[in-house]
Amino acid sequence: MISCFYISNRVFTMRAILIALALCLSLFVVQSAQAQSFVEGTHYSVVEHSTLSESPEVVEFFSFSCPGCYAMEPLVESMQAAMPEINLRRVHMPYGGRKAKQSQKVFVLMTLLHAEQYKNAIFERIHLQQDLFDSDEEIIGYFVDIGYERLKVEQLFRSFSADTKLRQMNKEGINRKVQSVPSFVVNGRYQVILAAVSSADDFTRLIDYLNSLPE
């Protein structure tokens, strides 16, 4: 009986060890596959002469008038929900002619009014309703219609702060050599190659990977 118990216990122990080894091996394979699944030049590029941001950050260069930016919005929101520790900063570029420059003014006014909760509504107005904010008065009127005091809106729209914000965004796009929108730069150094992104999960995993790269 003693010998039989010893054999059974040994079999049980060996089985547990083998299962544990198999689990460790599978975890290693998964981690290795994840690490190897993103390749410089295919999934991301390194921004030349870049400086790492002081904290985890994704900068989105975009335009309200850009259809691709509108299409990317669900992926961006999914990434934000999955990775709240990473700061998302939006930089509106003037690429796309007059309509892009008008929508850039919309973004600046939205930011100065701290009205980011209307971001999706602005996207939908432009892309679903085909209302492109053709004049400055339309921009001012939009924010007045949703509840902001006209005098405050007009003052901010024509303020030094608004002009400075426009100049800063344009300068940052030039310094980062951003040639198209949407573009995403992680931690000031790694730019996402969007052609390699096919889903919200792909985008989130890629951002997570780039954020984990050593300094």
Which residues of the chain, if any, have pLDDT below 70?
1-36, 215
Reduce the DSSP state of residue 98 to 3 states and report it: helix
Dist. CA 133–CA 99, nearest whole Å:
8
CATH 3.40.30.10 holds for 44-212: yes
The answer to whether 93 touches 100, Cβ cutoff 8 Å, is: yes
Predicted confidence at residue 49, as pLDDT, reads 80
Domain boundaries, the chain: 1-36, 44-212
**Single-letter residue type at 47:** V
Dist. CA 50–CA 47, nearest whole Å:
6
Predicted confidence at residue 176, as pLDDT, reads 87
Predicted confidence at residue 66, as pLDDT, reads 96
Q: 76-95 burial string, b = 16+ CB within 10 Å, else e?
A: beebeeebeebebebbbbbb
- Dihedral pair phi/psi, residue 62, rounded to 5°: -150, 180
Predicted confidence at residue 28, as pLDDT, reads 40
Dist. CA 109–CA 154, nearest whole Å:
10
Report which DSSP code applies to 47: P
Extract the tokens encoding 178: 């951003």
pTM above 0.85, yes or no: no
Predicted confidence at residue 215, as pLDDT, reads 67
**Single-letter residue type at 166:** L
